[in-house]
């Protein structure tokens, strides 16, 4: 990078074109989104065999479903006959098969071709060979990850390795029993910004005192501008007098049973590259799944998860949910504002990172490494 002329306090960001150029985005689609594990669906949203969701992963529409044996399966959402999209809905349920609406090629829940007009007249068509194309699937924390690579890096290495790198061990996240929590709220944010701006924003807290007044009231150390993610195992402590992770510091819901004493009254934020955030607080978990659709367009789905008994009781969780909803809105507004500058000549060579943001340089190096490109 062109760091030679910068004062020691600063390092360079990526040039603006990395956030606007569709050819960069195309490279990211193939070398990041289609080559890594991505968290796409909450397992409980696929309640029974035949329930399905369609999700965008890189350039591909992926059909995620539950098979007869209750296992999760994922397929490219493309008919093997003439390429029609099998399901255009975001979610739904089939009784026992996926049928292409064009010529009625019909696939079972395991993806095998089971029927088609005149199929018995074509006994040389292998029904597995001409089945829907499988996508690698892994379930963890009650969520489904998919990987479109032919030979994925092991999930443990790529995903769980990142969590260990942040929290120190896997127990620290398993304590929250995320797969046993209930969904209290899901909000989908349509963000007119490049996905990397959203990641970078989540990685630093230099902006916190300026745009997140409610969050800083609950977590006073955020006003220092240091990212909690810098220190392995560190969680930001609730301020004195703060009773819960809520918009006004009032008490939240009942603590999740497995949360340790060390984890009580603390907030842990994790970025799981490429496209996921996890936020852990004693009484709930906030999980973001990020879907980049274009260089300047990203959809973020955010789930608020509480103990099932808390969700089932129907009690008002608004003050808890409102806190991070505001943080999301504040962050995504900032990202959209930043996106507006990415195409400017003022940002052609990029901007700068202050010391409390220098670790974002590591993210940029990671991106460049994945893309196989170099700025030098």
Partner 1 sequence: MIPACPLAALPRGEAFRLDTVEPPIAIFHTDDGELYAIDDTCTHQDASLADGWLEGCEVECPLHASRFDLRTGKVDALPAKLPVRTHGVVVEDDTIYVVPSDLPPNLPPGARAKTA
Q: Which residues bind partner 1 (CB under 8 A)?
A: 96-97, 99, 104, 106, 114-121
DSSP conformational letter for 120: G
Residues 6+ apart with CB under 8 A from 212: 222, 326, 327, 330, 331
Nearer to partner 1, 80 or 138 (CB): 80
Nearer to partner 1, 101 or 233 (CB): 101
Nearer to partner 1, 113 or 281 (CB): 113
Nearer to partner 1, 117 or 213 (CB): 117
Query: In angstroms, rounded to a whole number, what is the distance separating the alpha carbons of residues 306 and 294?
Result: 32
Shortest Å distance, C-beta 79 to partner 1:
14
Nearer to partner 1, 91 or 119 (CB): 119
Shortest Å distance, C-beta 123 to partner 1:
9
Q: Classify 278 as helix, strand or coil.
A: strand
Shortest Å distance, C-beta 206 to partner 1:
59
Shortest Å distance, C-beta 118 to partner 1:
5
Structure tokens at 52: 């399905």
Shortest Å distance, C-beta 65 to partner 1:
17
Shortest Å distance, C-beta 104 to partner 1:
5
Q: Classify 272 as helix, strand or coil.
A: strand
Strands (E) across the chain are located at: 11-12, 38-42, 51-57, 60-66, 72-76, 91-93, 97-99, 106-108, 113-115, 134-140, 143-147, 182-191, 236-237, 266-272, 276-281, 284-294, 297-306, 352-353
Query: In angstroms, rounded to a whole number, what is the distance separating the alpha carbons of residues 351 and 15?
Result: 7
User: Do the beta carbons of residue 343 and residue 16 sit within 8 Å?
Assistant: yes
Nearer to partner 1, 117 or 168 (CB): 117
Query: In angstroms, rounded to a whole number, what is the distance separating the alpha carbons of residues 203 and 20?
Result: 21
């Amino acid at each position: 990078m062109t760091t030679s002329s910068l004062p020691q306090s600063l390092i360079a960001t990526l040039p603006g074109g990395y956030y606007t150029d569709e050819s960069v985005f195309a490279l990211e689609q193939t070398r990041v989104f289609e080559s890594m594990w991505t968290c796409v669906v909450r397992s409980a949203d696929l309640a029974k065999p035949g329930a399905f969701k369609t999700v965008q992963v890189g350039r591909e529409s992926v059909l995620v479903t539950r098979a007869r044996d209750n296992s999760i399966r994922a397929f490219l959402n493309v008919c093997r006959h003439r390429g029609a999209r099998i399901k255009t809905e975001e979610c739904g349920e089939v009784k026992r098969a996926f049928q292409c609406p064009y010529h009625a090629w019909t696939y079972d829940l395991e993806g095998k071709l089971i029927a088609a007009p005149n199929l018995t007249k074509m006994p040389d068509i292998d029904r597995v060979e001409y089945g829907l194309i499988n996508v690698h699937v892994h379930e963890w924390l009650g969520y489904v990850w998919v990987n479109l690579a032919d030979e994925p890096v092991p999930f443990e290495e790529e995903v769980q390795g990142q969590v260990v790198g942040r929290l120190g061990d896997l127990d620290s996240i398993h304590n929250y029993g995320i797969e046993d929590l209930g969904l209290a709220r899901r909000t989908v944010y349509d963000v007119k910004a490049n996905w990397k701006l959203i990641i970078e924003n989540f990685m630093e807290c230099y902006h916190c005192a300026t745009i997140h007044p409610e969050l800083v009231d609950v977590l006073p150390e955020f006003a220092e501008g240091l990212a909690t993610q810098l220190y392995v195992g560190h969680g930001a402590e609730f301020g004195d007098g703060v009773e819960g992770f809520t918009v006004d510091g009032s008490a939240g819901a009942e603590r999740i049973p497995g949360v340790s004493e060390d984890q009580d009254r603390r907030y842990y934020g994790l970025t799981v590259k490429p496209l996921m955030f996890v936020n852990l607080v004693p009484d709930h978990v906030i999980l973001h799944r990020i879907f980049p659709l274009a260089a300047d367009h990203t959809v973020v789905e955010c789930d608020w998860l509480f103990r099932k008994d808390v969700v089932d009781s129907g009690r008002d969780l608004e003050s808890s949910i409102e806190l991070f909803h505001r943080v999301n809105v504040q962050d995504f507004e900032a990202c959209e504002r930043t996106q507006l500058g990415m195409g400017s000549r003022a940002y052609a060579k990029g901007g700068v990172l202050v010391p409390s943001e220098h670790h974002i340089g590591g993210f940029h190096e990671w991106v460049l490494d994945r893309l196989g490109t170099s700025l030098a």
